[in-house]
């Protein structure tokens, strides 16, 4: 019966699908990749490298901004603590009319003696009574007092992290504290 259909027993095509004709796997033939395939691979590789580079640049910028902010926070904290430490042993303070200069006095038996002074110069430096620099890069220093014994200290500090003509990458901090004369 199989012989009537044209098939013989033991034929190598018996029960198997016929072999496919047409294009074979491009990687298995010896002709290699086409120019279009090479251009596609190069374009995809370039896109991946560009994405990695953009991520890296963004991360570095973010790190610089965070480091600059930490620096000015540390500097601001230091300057308000130094000034507050000098106010505490005093008995009274005087503040100039511009509110950017402070004098701390201690009342002794022979009268008041100046024990500390702080002021902001035109270059953004906070200087002490001896003219020594306490900190630099200060935009604003303001002292306020209602009773000549307690003093509110406000210090604005900033840092230009990136480009000087771009204000969007600047970092600024206001550090504020209140110190009270204890004598």
Question: Which conformational region is residue 133 in: left (phi greater than 0), alpha (psi within -120 to 50 degrees), or beta?
Answer: beta
Instruction: Return d(Cα 44, Cα 130) in angstroms, integer.
Output: 65
CB 115 within 8 A of CB 103: no
CB 141 within 8 A of CB 126: yes
**What dihedral do alpha carbons 148, 152, 71, 135 form, nearest 10°?**
-20
All residues at 6 or more sequence positions from 179 whose CB lies less than 8 Å from its CB, including other chains? 83, 84, 87, 88, 150, 151, 153
Per-block mean pLDDT, blocks of 10 residues, the chain (183 long): 53 61 59 87 96 94 84 92 94 93 90 92 93 92 93 90 64 91 90
**pTM assigned to the model:** 0.68
């Amino acid at each position: 019966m199989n012989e009537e259909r044209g098939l013989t027993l033991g034929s190598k095509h018996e029960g198997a699908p016929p072999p496919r004709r047409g294009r074979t796997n491009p990687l298995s033939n010896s002709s290699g990749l086409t120019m279009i395939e090479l251009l596609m691979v190069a374009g995809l590789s370039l896109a991946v490298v560009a994405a990695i580079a953009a991520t890296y640049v963004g991360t570095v910028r973010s790190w610089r901004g965070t480091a600059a902010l930490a620096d000015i926070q540390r500097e601001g904290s230091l300057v308000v603590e130094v000034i507050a430490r000098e106010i505490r042993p005093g008995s009274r303070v005087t503040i100039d009319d511009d509110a950017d200069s402070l004098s701390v006095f201690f009342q002794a038996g022979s009268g008041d003696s100046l024990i500390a002074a702080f002021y902001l110069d035109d270059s953004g430096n906070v200087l002490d009574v001896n003219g020594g620099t306490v900190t630099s890069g200060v935009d604003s220093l303001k002292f306020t007092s209602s009773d000549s014994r307690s003093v509110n200290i406000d210090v604005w500090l900033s840092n230009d992290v990136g480009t000087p003509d771009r204000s969007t990458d600047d970092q600024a901090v206001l550090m504020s504290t209140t110190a009270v004369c204890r004598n």
